[in-house]
Amino acid sequence: MEFAIYILALVYFTIIFYFFIGILFLNSKKNKKINNISIIIAARNEEKQLPNLLNKLINQNYPQENYEIIVVNDRSEDNTFSIIEEFQKKNSNIRLVNLETESRHLLGKKGALDAGIRTSRYGILAFTDADCIPTLNWLQQINAHFTENTDIIAGYSYVQYKSKLFKLLKNLERSSIFAVIAGGFGWNWGITITAGNMAYRKGLYHKVNGFDDIGTIRSGDDVLMIQKMSKYARNMSFMFHPDSIINTGRNETAGSQVQQETRRGSKWKYYIIPVKIMTLFIFLYYLIFTGCFLSLFLNVFSLSFFLNILLIKIIPEFLLMTLFLIRIKKLKLMWVFPIAELFYIPYFIFFGIKGTWGKYKWKE
């Protein structure tokens, strides 16, 4: 029994170390020419958040003639439409697309995003969410990473929470996801991505037939799409520069966080087979690891055995997170690494189960 668990622990070690090596493999080559970029935002009932985002986007340190801002009003019931109209009157590179009904074939944000993509003039599509706040050099960083052979890029996003401790813990957990994104990109494998800070070529979107085969899945406009694109992408790049980091403009609540994590877990059943197998293995390994910990109290396993498998788990995680956080200059998040180690496994297991078999509430 102990030998089998050691083998599982070493497989887990290999998976995490794989992403560590992937980050080291990431291409540091930068593009020097000016690309034309279409920014696409799907906005539903975002009257409080949208002005902050649009003010940042219209003041980007990037030539006005080389980018456009497409805002899709996605059936809003507040003043979102009027706010976009007012900004459009004062800024010629803002374009408004208005959706009044939800397509039966493109649920959630997918209908709005597809409408924005079809309206776009340029071949590079940059995406962020209406409640996000980019830096004024965000487009510069996107442009710098789009070399001739680059098809997909992603960047980091930092979320604000009311509790300082929870903010540190949650952003460290989010950083682990971004470390997997970056590590996967280093191997040219699109495992996951976040919608608030990403970009890809419009030609790649059309090559995979857009959202056609995932349109009726309410979530997954980012993760499922990137998994579709992965096998066709020539090169993927991750933005580490502080100017590429996106911050959210709202303070997340516990309720909204539960819904977000449940939505994330709900997409597992639609993942491509390699990603599904890897995440299923990690889920099962976490269950076994938890069982080993509980078995200490029944004297099934020795303390030395548990400490050995604990070290096999923690060492690659520590290396991966330290490397990633150094790259994005947020190493201070590692102060809560020991606390995160205590809570992350039950957190992962709970939302893995809840997301797969439970229900979640989509945005009003």
pLDDT(28) > 90: no
Confidence at 113, pLDDT banded by 50, 70, 90 = very high
Strand pairing category for 124-127 and 198-201 = antiparallel
User: What element of type H or E holds 160?
Assistant: strand 157-161
Residue type, 195: A
Confidence of residue 240 (pLDDT cuts 50, 70, 90): very high
Half-sphere exposure of 115 (CA within 13 A, CB side): 26
Question: Cα separations (Å) of 69 from 48, 80, 112, 128, 154?
Answer: 18, 15, 14, 11, 19
pLDDT in the model for residue 309: 94
For residue 44, the model assigns a pLDDT of: 92
Q: What pLDDT digit, counting tens, does each position of 130-146 carry?
A: 999 999 999 999 999 99
CA distance 50 to 139: 18
Q: Distances in Å between the alpha carbon of 106 and those of 54, 206, 283, 314?
A: 26, 15, 30, 41
- List pLDDT tens digits, range 244-291: 999 985 555 555 666 666 666 567 788 899 999 999 999 899 999 988
Separation CA 168–CA 27 (nearest Å):
29
- Res. 358 pLDDT band, cuts 50 70 90: low
Q: How many angstroms separate the CA atoms of 28 and 31, rounded?
A: 10
Confidence of residue 301 (pLDDT cuts 50, 70, 90): confident
Coil vs helix vs strand at 120: coil
Asked if residue 117 has pLDDT above 60, the reply is yes
In order of 48, 180, 233, the CA distances from 327 in angstroms are: 33, 14, 24
* pLDDT (0 to 100) of residue 184: 97
**Region 166-173: what's the mean pLDDT?**
88
pLDDT of 1 over the 60 cut: yes
Q: What is the pTM of this model?
A: 0.91
Contact 140, 64 (CB under 8 A): no
Mean pLDDT for 92-109 is 90
Instruction: For residue 257, count CB atoms less than 10 angstroms from its CB and return exposed for 0-12, middle for 13-18, buried for 19 or more.
Output: middle
The rounded mean pLDDT for the chain is 89
Element (H, E) at 325: helix 303-327
pLDDT at 298: 81
Q: State how far the Cα of 213 lies from the Cα of 147, in Å rounded to an integer.
A: 29
Q: Is the pLDDT of residue 159 over 60?
A: yes
Residue 44 CB partners (closer than 8 Å, separation 6+): 73, 74, 75, 76, 80, 109, 112, 130, 363
> Quick one: pLDDT at residue 235?
95
Q: How confident is the model at residue 364 (pLDDT cuts 50, 70, 90)?
A: very low
Count Cβ atoms below 10 Å from residue 146 Cβ, excluding itself. 25
Q: How many CA atoms lie within 13 A of 354 on its CB side?
A: 15
Distance between CA atoms of residues 232 and 357, nearest Å = 31
The per-residue pLDDT for 32 is: 87
Query: What is the Cα–Cα distance from 218 to 215, expressed in whole angstroms?
Result: 7
Q: Determine what percent of the chain is predicted with pLDDT higher than 90.
A: 68
Confidence (pLDDT) at 122: 97
Contacts (Cβ under 8 Å, ≥6 apart) of 88: 94, 95, 96
pLDDT at 248: 83
Q: Which of 136, 113, 127 is nearest to 199 (CA)?
A: 127
